Amino acid sequence: MTGNGRIEIEKIVRERLEAEGRTVKWFCEQIGWDRKKWYRFQDSGYIDVHDLKKICGVLGYDFFKCFSVGLVT
């Protein structure tokens, strides 16, 4: 999370790919993205929930938890 409270999903995805020894090409093939969409995601950090759900499945990680931490008391 950045100082302004923004969760940098794009960085977490990149870290997960590196930890698993996966390439961006492999990742894009798995979720149906082209490289242009990957670069837009990396530059903006914005992603729709449908794509995020696909990413969760491909990388075996619940990225939605990144948003919900601290919401439940």
Tens of pLDDT, residues 21-31: 999 999 999 99
Domain count, the chain: 1
Is 4 within a domain?
no
Is 3 within a domain?
no
> How far apart (Å, rounded) are the C-alpha atoms in residues 73 and 36?
40
Is 38 within a domain?
yes
HEC secondary structure over 19-55: HCCCCHHHHHHHHCCCHHHHHHHHHHCCCCHHHHHHH
Is 50 within a domain?
yes
The domain that contains 37 carries what CATH number?
1.10.260.40
Is 30 within a domain?
yes
Is 26 within a domain?
yes
Tens of pLDDT, residues 2-48: 555 667 889 999 999 999 999 999 999 999 999 999 999 999 888 99
